[in-house]
A and B are shown apart, each in its own frame.
Chain A
Amino acid sequence: DADVTQTPRNRITKTGKRIMLECSQTKGHDRMYWYRQDPGLGLRLIYYSFDVKDINKGEISDGYSVSRQAQAKFSLSLESAIPNQTALYFCATSDSSSSTDRYYGYTFGSGTRLTVV
Protein backbone atom coordinates (compact mmCIF):
# COMPACT_ATOMS: atom_id res chain seq x y z
CA ASP A 1 0.00 0.00 0.00
CA ALA A 2 1.09 3.53 -0.72
CA ASP A 3 2.33 5.68 2.17
CA VAL A 4 -0.06 8.48 1.24
CA THR A 5 -3.35 7.41 -0.35
CA GLN A 6 -5.73 9.80 -2.05
CA THR A 7 -9.27 8.85 -2.97
CA PRO A 8 -10.80 9.07 -5.45
CA ARG A 9 -8.11 9.11 -8.16
CA ASN A 10 -10.46 10.72 -10.65
CA ARG A 11 -13.80 12.43 -10.19
CA ILE A 12 -16.22 14.28 -12.41
CA THR A 13 -18.85 16.31 -10.62
CA LYS A 14 -21.44 18.91 -11.50
CA THR A 15 -21.40 22.58 -10.64
CA GLY A 16 -22.94 23.24 -7.24
CA LYS A 17 -22.36 19.77 -5.85
CA ARG A 18 -20.50 19.16 -2.60
CA ILE A 19 -17.53 16.91 -2.95
CA MET A 20 -14.94 15.52 -0.56
CA LEU A 21 -11.44 14.42 -1.40
CA GLU A 22 -9.80 12.15 1.10
CA CYS A 23 -6.22 11.61 2.12
CA SER A 24 -4.88 8.97 4.48
CA GLN A 25 -1.30 8.17 5.42
CA THR A 26 0.64 5.40 7.07
CA LYS A 27 3.84 7.43 7.53
CA GLY A 28 3.01 8.42 11.10
CA HIS A 29 3.57 12.05 10.13
CA ASP A 30 1.81 14.77 12.06
CA ARG A 31 1.76 17.40 9.30
CA MET A 32 -0.54 17.22 6.31
CA TYR A 33 -1.12 19.54 3.35
CA TRP A 34 -3.45 20.05 0.43
CA TYR A 35 -2.19 21.61 -2.81
CA ARG A 36 -3.82 22.08 -6.18
CA GLN A 37 -1.95 21.96 -9.45
CA ASP A 38 -3.04 23.87 -12.52
CA PRO A 39 -1.13 24.01 -15.81
CA GLY A 40 1.24 26.96 -15.77
CA LEU A 41 0.51 27.80 -12.15
CA GLY A 42 2.47 25.10 -10.35
CA LEU A 43 1.32 23.87 -6.95
CA ARG A 44 -0.60 26.26 -4.75
CA LEU A 45 -1.26 25.65 -1.08
CA ILE A 46 -4.91 25.33 -0.06
CA TYR A 47 -4.78 24.27 3.59
CA TYR A 48 -2.32 22.68 5.96
CA SER A 49 -2.52 21.07 9.37
CA PHE A 50 0.29 20.56 11.85
CA ASP A 51 -1.73 18.33 14.16
CA VAL A 52 -5.33 17.28 14.71
CA LYS A 53 -6.25 20.54 16.44
CA ASP A 54 -4.33 22.83 14.11
CA ILE A 55 -5.71 23.95 10.74
CA ASN A 56 -4.21 26.77 8.69
CA LYS A 57 -5.32 28.48 5.50
CA GLY A 58 -3.01 28.57 2.53
CA GLU A 59 -2.91 31.08 -0.30
CA ILE A 60 -6.08 29.85 -2.05
CA SER A 61 -8.44 28.56 0.66
CA ASP A 62 -11.61 30.33 -0.56
CA GLY A 63 -14.24 27.82 -1.64
CA TYR A 64 -12.57 24.98 0.24
CA SER A 65 -12.76 23.53 3.74
CA VAL A 66 -10.83 20.78 5.47
CA SER A 67 -11.24 18.30 8.27
CA ARG A 68 -8.47 16.55 10.18
CA GLN A 69 -10.38 13.56 11.50
CA ALA A 70 -7.31 11.84 12.93
CA GLN A 71 -3.58 12.19 12.67
CA ALA A 72 -3.64 9.94 9.62
CA LYS A 73 -6.62 11.48 7.80
CA PHE A 74 -7.04 14.88 6.20
CA SER A 75 -10.05 15.59 3.97
CA LEU A 76 -10.62 18.46 1.58
CA SER A 77 -14.17 19.56 0.78
CA LEU A 78 -15.56 21.73 -1.96
CA GLU A 79 -18.84 23.00 -0.52
CA SER A 80 -20.30 24.04 -3.86
CA ALA A 81 -18.05 23.03 -6.73
CA ILE A 82 -17.45 25.44 -9.59
CA PRO A 83 -15.70 24.82 -12.93
CA ASN A 84 -12.56 26.81 -12.03
CA GLN A 85 -11.91 24.29 -9.27
CA THR A 86 -11.13 21.76 -11.97
CA ALA A 87 -7.55 20.78 -11.16
CA LEU A 88 -5.20 18.08 -9.95
CA TYR A 89 -5.19 17.95 -6.15
CA PHE A 90 -2.29 16.64 -4.11
CA CYS A 91 -2.08 15.68 -0.49
CA ALA A 92 1.33 15.66 1.20
CA THR A 93 2.66 14.80 4.64
CA SER A 94 5.74 15.63 6.70
CA ASP A 95 7.14 15.05 10.16
CA SER A 96 7.63 17.87 12.68
CA SER A 97 10.43 16.22 14.57
CA SER A 98 13.40 18.41 15.25
CA SER A 99 15.17 17.11 12.21
CA THR A 100 14.85 19.64 9.42
CA ASP A 101 15.26 16.86 6.95
CA ARG A 102 12.01 15.35 8.07
CA TYR A 103 9.74 18.34 8.59
CA TYR A 104 10.34 19.48 5.04
CA GLY A 105 10.69 16.00 3.64
CA TYR A 106 7.29 15.89 2.01
CA THR A 107 5.70 12.63 0.91
CA PHE A 108 3.13 13.21 -1.82
CA GLY A 109 0.10 11.19 -2.74
CA SER A 110 -0.58 10.29 -6.36
CA GLY A 111 -3.15 13.03 -6.77
CA THR A 112 -6.89 13.34 -7.43
CA ARG A 113 -7.94 14.68 -10.79
CA LEU A 114 -11.16 16.62 -10.29
CA THR A 115 -13.32 17.89 -13.13
CA VAL A 116 -16.26 20.18 -12.43
CA VAL A 117 -18.74 20.43 -15.32
Chain B
Amino acid sequence: AQSVTQPDIHITVSEGASLELRCNYSYGATPYLFWYVQSPGQGLQLLLKYFSGDTLVQGIKGFEAEFKRSQSSFNLRKPSVHWSDAAEYFCAVGARQAGTALIFGKGTTLSVSS
Protein backbone atom coordinates (compact mmCIF):
# COMPACT_ATOMS: atom_id res chain seq x y z
CA ALA B 1 0.00 0.00 0.00
CA GLN B 2 1.18 3.49 -0.71
CA SER B 3 2.11 5.74 2.19
CA VAL B 4 3.64 9.12 2.85
CA THR B 5 5.97 10.10 5.66
CA GLN B 6 6.74 13.64 6.74
CA PRO B 7 9.45 13.17 9.38
CA ASP B 8 9.24 16.67 10.84
CA ILE B 9 6.16 17.53 12.86
CA HIS B 10 7.13 21.12 13.53
CA ILE B 11 9.85 23.35 12.09
CA THR B 12 10.78 26.91 13.02
CA VAL B 13 12.67 29.05 10.54
CA SER B 14 13.83 32.63 10.79
CA GLU B 15 12.29 35.05 8.32
CA GLY B 16 14.57 35.32 5.29
CA ALA B 17 16.20 31.96 5.91
CA SER B 18 15.88 29.00 3.57
CA LEU B 19 13.42 26.20 4.13
CA GLU B 20 13.33 22.51 3.34
CA LEU B 21 10.42 20.26 4.31
CA ARG B 22 10.94 16.55 3.92
CA CYS B 23 8.62 14.02 2.35
CA ASN B 24 9.26 10.33 1.74
CA TYR B 25 6.88 7.97 0.03
CA SER B 26 6.46 4.25 -0.17
CA TYR B 27 5.00 2.86 -3.33
CA GLY B 28 5.71 0.11 -5.81
CA ALA B 29 6.08 2.48 -8.70
CA THR B 30 6.65 6.18 -9.02
CA PRO B 31 3.46 7.86 -7.87
CA TYR B 32 2.16 11.29 -8.61
CA LEU B 33 3.39 13.67 -5.90
CA PHE B 34 1.92 16.83 -4.47
CA TRP B 35 2.47 19.50 -1.85
CA TYR B 36 -0.46 21.34 -0.29
CA VAL B 37 -0.50 24.23 2.18
CA GLN B 38 -3.11 24.98 4.80
CA SER B 39 -3.12 28.40 6.41
CA PRO B 40 -4.74 28.70 9.84
CA GLY B 41 -8.49 28.26 9.61
CA GLN B 42 -8.38 27.67 5.88
CA GLY B 43 -8.78 24.80 3.46
CA LEU B 44 -5.97 23.25 1.46
CA GLN B 45 -4.28 24.93 -1.47
CA LEU B 46 -2.12 23.13 -4.02
CA LEU B 47 1.47 24.42 -4.07
CA LEU B 48 2.93 22.17 -6.75
CA LYS B 49 2.81 18.72 -8.29
CA TYR B 50 5.04 16.19 -10.01
CA PHE B 51 3.78 13.85 -12.68
CA SER B 52 6.79 13.14 -14.88
CA GLY B 53 9.68 14.82 -16.65
CA ASP B 54 11.89 17.40 -14.99
CA THR B 55 12.47 16.32 -11.41
CA LEU B 56 12.63 19.90 -10.15
CA VAL B 57 9.18 21.43 -10.17
CA GLN B 58 8.22 25.00 -9.52
CA GLY B 59 5.09 25.99 -7.69
CA ILE B 60 3.27 29.01 -6.43
CA LYS B 61 4.55 31.46 -3.82
CA GLY B 62 8.19 30.81 -4.71
CA PHE B 63 8.20 27.15 -3.65
CA GLU B 64 9.92 24.34 -5.48
CA ALA B 65 10.27 20.60 -4.91
CA GLU B 66 12.69 18.00 -6.15
CA PHE B 67 11.76 14.42 -6.89
CA LYS B 68 14.53 11.94 -6.11
CA ARG B 69 13.61 8.44 -7.18
CA SER B 70 16.62 6.81 -5.52
CA GLN B 71 15.63 8.26 -2.15
CA SER B 72 11.83 8.01 -2.63
CA SER B 73 11.67 11.64 -1.64
CA PHE B 74 9.91 14.80 -2.75
CA ASN B 75 11.25 17.59 -0.55
CA LEU B 76 9.80 21.08 -0.62
CA ARG B 77 12.12 24.07 -0.62
CA LYS B 78 12.01 27.83 -0.53
CA PRO B 79 15.13 30.02 -0.64
CA SER B 80 13.80 32.82 1.59
CA VAL B 81 10.88 32.36 3.94
CA HIS B 82 8.36 35.11 4.61
CA TRP B 83 6.26 35.44 7.77
CA SER B 84 3.16 34.70 5.68
CA ASP B 85 4.52 31.22 4.92
CA ALA B 86 3.68 30.11 8.45
CA ALA B 87 1.18 27.30 7.89
CA GLU B 88 0.80 23.55 7.81
CA TYR B 89 2.22 21.73 4.82
CA PHE B 90 1.07 18.37 3.52
CA CYS B 91 2.75 16.03 1.10
CA ALA B 92 0.45 13.69 -0.83
CA VAL B 93 0.78 10.79 -3.24
CA GLY B 94 -1.53 9.47 -5.90
CA ALA B 95 -1.27 6.17 -7.74
CA ARG B 96 -0.76 6.31 -11.49
CA GLN B 97 -3.92 4.38 -12.16
CA ALA B 98 -6.97 6.59 -12.08
CA GLY B 99 -9.12 4.60 -9.70
CA THR B 100 -7.67 5.79 -6.41
CA ALA B 101 -7.64 8.82 -4.15
CA LEU B 102 -4.81 10.93 -2.82
CA ILE B 103 -3.07 9.77 0.34
CA PHE B 104 -1.77 12.54 2.59
CA GLY B 105 1.09 12.70 5.04
CA LYS B 106 0.57 13.83 8.62
CA GLY B 107 1.78 17.31 7.90
CA THR B 108 4.57 19.64 9.00
CA THR B 109 3.77 22.85 10.84
CA LEU B 110 6.01 25.73 9.87
CA SER B 111 6.57 28.62 12.26
CA VAL B 112 8.45 31.70 11.12
CA SER B 113 10.37 33.76 13.67
CA SER B 114 11.33 37.39 13.20
Contacts and interface: CB of A to CB of B under 8 A. Distances in A.
Interface of A: 33, 35, 40-45, 48, 50, 56, 58, 90, 96, 100-101, 103-106, 108-111
Interface residues of B, number: 22
A108 B44 contact: yes
B101 A58 contact: yes
By secondary structure, the B interface counts as loop
Contacts of A110: 42-43
Contacts of A50: 99
Interface of B: 6, 9, 32, 34, 42-46, 49, 51, 90, 94, 98-99, 101-107
Contact of A43 (B45, B46, B99, B104): B104
Contacts of A103: 98
